[in-house]
Amino acid sequence: MSDPVVLFEEIPTADGHRFGIATLNAPAALNALSVDMVRLMLPKFRAWAEDANVVGVMLQAAGEKAFCAGGDLRQLYQTLLECGPERNTYAEDFFREEYELDYLIHTYPKPLLCWGHGIVMGGGVGLMAGCTHRVVTPASRVAMPEINIGLYPDVGGSWFLRRMPGRTGLFLALTAAQINAADAIFTGLADHMVPQERKGQVLEMIGATRWKGEAKADRAELSRILARAAEGAPLPPSKLREHYDAIDALMAGEDLLDIARRLDALAGQDGADAWLQNAARAFAKGAPSSAAITFELWLRVPRMSLAEVFRLEYWASLGFCAHKDFAEGIRAVLIDKDRNPKWQPARLEDITPGFIDEHLRVRGDMPQELLALR
């Protein structure tokens, strides 16, 4: 019998309280976030939130390669092929439940620590971004690579990417650029860099602490624990900080075609910085539909609440499921692995306002679980 895809335990603390530990347990799949994982975590996280003896929660993952490499899209892919533009009830459940969990994490009433070691991408960033305490390690590699699979940065990405310094969030969304621990801290996706080998020390300190059972005080105490664990660990250079002005210049303006022209020029420029140039080339290979919807959401969300953004993303995600690029991107990257998707439309210039509206329109009734978010 196989082990559960999420493992739960509780460790005792010095004053008789407990600290919940949730471990994503699919290391062979780089802990890709599945519906089964979400259905285990939602009720458990809610139960821990209501249990006065549980003072905090830690979310981690099995294995050394990845915290979470994104959503588990293989089963979703089959439903995209079967349903086409028709109603896809599996996709409705997949995105509704994932966004419920992400929103719960963002609004969790107790300290919630995410240990983001290794690969943290897509749905994994969605899990990490809302935690009260986000740890990255020297081996962390963080990205929102949805443009490569014909999707857009969902899981609240429209909200947290918009709140990064300058236009770094838009740059990450359009180029799928990977960032390191220092970049993650600079953008606000992470709070501390702690070497992986000190995780045991952090757990020991959590267990040795006398917690107050008061969220504000306990969050401050957990921050002190992580700051002590991070001492003496030098941050690597931050590419985003180094190229901040260049990125803002590349991403300037309110017309995506202007941005695309600048990225195209950078991709072919002799002597350009290799990291920026690779990002520009990734944009050129990504789905034009993904770039267009990502930019439209970037323009729409600045004054929206997190709950409103999740509801908007729900319609956007179902819109992508009803069109061809999402299935084609999954095929090219995860199924056939030929890395040669045939996007429709193939050019950004061919995307119309009507095409964008069709992706973002209401499809049926908003689920009550998402209507209830405040």
Model pLDDT for residues 46-74, shown as the tens digit of each residue = 999 999 999 999 999 999 999 999 999 99
Task: Look at residue 110 and tell me if it is in a domain.
Answer: yes
Task: Look at residue 91 and tell me if it is in a domain.
Answer: yes
Rounded Cα gap, residues 123 and 70, in angstroms: 4
How many C-beta atoms lie closer than 10 Å to residue 305's C-beta?
A: 12
Tokens 């994490």 belong to residue: 105
Rounded Cα gap, residues 105 and 130, in angstroms: 5
Task: Look at residue 11 and tell me if it is in a domain.
Answer: yes
Task: Look at residue 50 and tell me if it is in a domain.
Answer: yes
∠ CA(117), CA(173), CA(71), 5° rounding? 50
Q: Which residues are known catalytic residues?
A: 71, 123, 146, 154
Tens of pLDDT, residue by residue over 330-352, are: 999 999 999 999 999 999 999 99
Strands 119-121 and 54-61, how do they pair?
A: unpaired
Question: Domain of 206: which CATH number?
Answer: 3.90.226.10
Tokens 């059972």 belong to residue: 213
Report percent pLDDT > 70 for the chain: 100
Tens of pLDDT, residue by residue over 168-212, are: 999 999 999 999 999 999 999 999 999 999 999 999 999 999 999
pTM of this prediction? 0.97
Stretch 87-101: mean pLDDT:
97
Total domain count for the chain? 1
Query: What three-state secondary structure class fits 9?
Result: strand
Strands 6-12 and 18-24, how do they pair?
A: antiparallel
**Greatest Cα pair distance in the chain:** 63
Close Cβ partners of 120 (under 8 Å, ≥ 6 residues apart): 66, 67, 68, 128, 136, 140, 141, 142, 143
Which range of residues forms the domain containing residue 358? 6-371
Mean residue pLDDT of the chain comes to: 97
Residue 1: pLDDT over 80: no
How many C-beta atoms lie closer than 10 Å to residue 367's C-beta?
A: 17
Residue 155, Ramachandran bin (φ over 0: left; ψ between -120 and 50: alpha; else beta): left
Distances (CA, A) of 103 to 42, 45, 305: 10, 12, 11
**Per-residue DSSP letter, 5:** S
Rounded Cα gap, residues 18 and 54, in angstroms: 5
Banded model confidence at residue 2, pLDDT cuts 50, 70, 90: confident
Task: Look at residue 1 and tell me if it is in a domain.
Answer: no
Six-digit token string for 98: 């994932």
Stretch 24-41: mean pLDDT:
97
Stretch 137-158: mean pLDDT:
98
Total length of the chain: 374
